[in-house]
Structure formats: C-alpha cells, structure tokens
C-alpha cells in the first residue's frame, strides 16, 4: 500500500487495510466526494444559523445553544464499509453511509429540539430519509437525541448533487451526558462493569428529569 495512503487512513477494521486503497484509487473522485460533504455541513450550518437569527428577531431568544459539525475521516469511512461488507469506493460510501456529513445542533430546551427540527424539515430542499427519536424512546444506555438522516442539494458550477447528511438535535443537558458517556465508554480500553453501566443509566434518567423540569420552569416564566 502507498505509505501516504496508509498514514491517511490509519488502522482499519478486521485487519483489511489493503482494501482501503480502493477508496483512493481514483483520488480525484474521493476529493470530490469530500468536497460535497464539506459543502453539505456548511450549507446546513448556515440554515440553522439563519433560523436561529430569525428567532432572535421575532422572539428575542435563541433556541440553538451551539452547532457542531464534522465529516467522517477516511479511516472511519473505510471501517464502516468493511464492517458492512460493502465495496470500498467513493460511490459505495455515498450509497451505504448516511452520516459521512454530520451536524449536531445543541438546543436550550426539549421543545426547541422539535421546533428547530420542524423548521428544517419544512424547507423545500430538505428530504427526510429516516428519523430516530431517542428522546421519546431513549436508547438502552440512556442516550437521548433526535436523529434525522436527510438529503439536500449541493449546487455546483455545472451540476447539482444530492448529498446525504445526519443531523443530531439534543438539549444542553443531553449533550452533557452524551459527551461524558462517550468519553467513559469509547475512550477507555476497559469494559464497563454492569453495575457502573446501571449507574450511568441512572444518571441519564436524573439529567432527563432535570431537563424536563427546566423546560417547565421556562414555560412558567414565559406565562408571567
């Protein structure tokens, strides 16, 4: 394997690092794909910033606390394709992976999550592919967030490309728990004992209760 490619992709799943070279056999195609996904997160970020600014003007408050974004690394793309038994090519990546481009929108309150999601999905150039609501139905470990797999047009000089992206919407409280849980579970090389997993779930439920309480306090203040 070309050493530059090996450095770029890093370790890959199942010891199949050689397969990763297929992703780069046509480097221009890979570069064009990466450009499309970078364009998608920029466009989505601008959409959310405009919606947030409109809220400031109309309601004198911001529903969005902050926005994060990322494009999956080459190594992550290769790992995901290999784990699914899919061909390792740019075309296969675009077909089989919905979250190469990811935007996370952290909102102030639970109601804001659904309001912002609704405002995005009402836009005529956004097509919803799949929705997973881990707020109403939390994951087994207590994870809460609203996931939207979407597709949006990227307008280029000579053509328009439809590009997939994942949008995650959550509250500040949900983001706090998810960030620490990820650090504990995925950045440690040790398995988490069941007892500690139960404690983490309990923390998630307590934080969720506080989240709901803060939402109610906000509503009561608004009603004064």
Q: What is the pLDDT confidence band of residue 3, given thresholds at 50, 70 and 90?
A: very low
Mean pLDDT across 120-131: 98
**Run of H or E including 41:** helix 27-59
What are the domain boundaries of the chain? 3-172
**pLDDT one-digit tens code per residue, 28-47:** 888 899 999 999 999 999 99
Q: With a cut of 80, say whether residue 5 has pLDDT above it.
A: no
- Are the CB atoms for 106 and 64 separated by under 8 Å? yes
Mean pLDDT of the chain: 90
pLDDT of 24 reads 65
Most confident of 15-19, 30-34, 169-173: 169-173
Q: With a cut of 90, say whether residue 166 has pLDDT above it.
A: yes
pLDDT of 22 reads 66
CA-based radius of gyration for the chain: 20
Mean pLDDT across 143-169: 98
Q: What is the pLDDT confidence band of residue 196, given thresholds at 50, 70 and 90?
A: confident
Q: Does domain 3-172 have CATH number 2.60.40.10?
A: no
pLDDT of 7 reads 44
DSSP string, 43-109: HHHHHHHHHHHHHHHHHSS-SEEEEEEEE--HHHHHHHHHHTT---SHHHHHHH-S-SEEEEEEESS
Predicted TM-score of the model (pTM):
0.88
Nearest in space to 40 (alpha carbons), one of 122, 195, 154, 148? 154
pLDDT of 193 reads 81
What percent of the residues of the chain are helix, what percent strand, and what percent coil, each to the nearest 5? 55, 20, 25
- Are the CB atoms for 47 and 120 separated by under 8 Å? yes
What are the DSSP E strand ranges found in 146-224?
Answer: 146-155, 160-171
Nearest in space to 211 (alpha carbons), one of 132, 67, 111, 68? 111
- How far apart CA 102 and CA 105 sit, in angstroms, is 10
Reading the block at residue 177, the tokens are: 């728990």
Q: With a cut of 70, say whether residue 21 has pLDDT above it.
A: no
Mean pLDDT across 102-112: 98
- Which residue in the block uniquely carries the two structure tokens 């009402």? 122
**pLDDT one-digit tens code per residue, 139-155:** 999 999 999 999 999 99
pLDDT of 184 reads 84
Mean pLDDT across 197-221: 96
């Amino acid at each position: 394997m070309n050493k530059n490619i090996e450095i770029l992709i890093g370790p890959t799943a199942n010891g199949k690092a050689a397969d990763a070279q297929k992703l780069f056999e046509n480097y221009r195609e890979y570069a064009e794909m990466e450009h499309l996904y970078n364009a998608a997160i920029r466009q989505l970020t601008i959409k959310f910033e405009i919606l947030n600014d409109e809220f400031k003007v109309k309601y004198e408050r911001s529903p969005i606390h902050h926005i994060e974004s990322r494009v999956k690394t080459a190594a992550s793309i290769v790992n995901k394709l290999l784990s699914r038994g899919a061909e390792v090519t740019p075309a296969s990546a675009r077909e089989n992976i919905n979250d190469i481009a990811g935007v996370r929108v952290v909102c102030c309150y639970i109601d804001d999550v659904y309001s912002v999601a609704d405002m995005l999905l009402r836009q005529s150039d956004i097509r919803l592919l799949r929705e997973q609501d881990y707020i109403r139905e939390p994951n087994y470990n207590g994870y809460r967030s609203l996931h939207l797999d979407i597709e949006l047009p990227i307008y280029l000089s000579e053509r328009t490309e439809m590009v997939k992206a994942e949008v995650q919407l959550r509250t500040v409280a949900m983001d706090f728990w998810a960030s620490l849980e990820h650090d504990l579970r995925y950045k440690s090389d040790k398995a988490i004992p069941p007892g500690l997993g139960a404690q983490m779930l309990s923390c998630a439920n307590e934080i969720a209760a506080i989240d709901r309480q803060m939402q109610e306090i906000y509503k009561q203040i608004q009603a004064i």
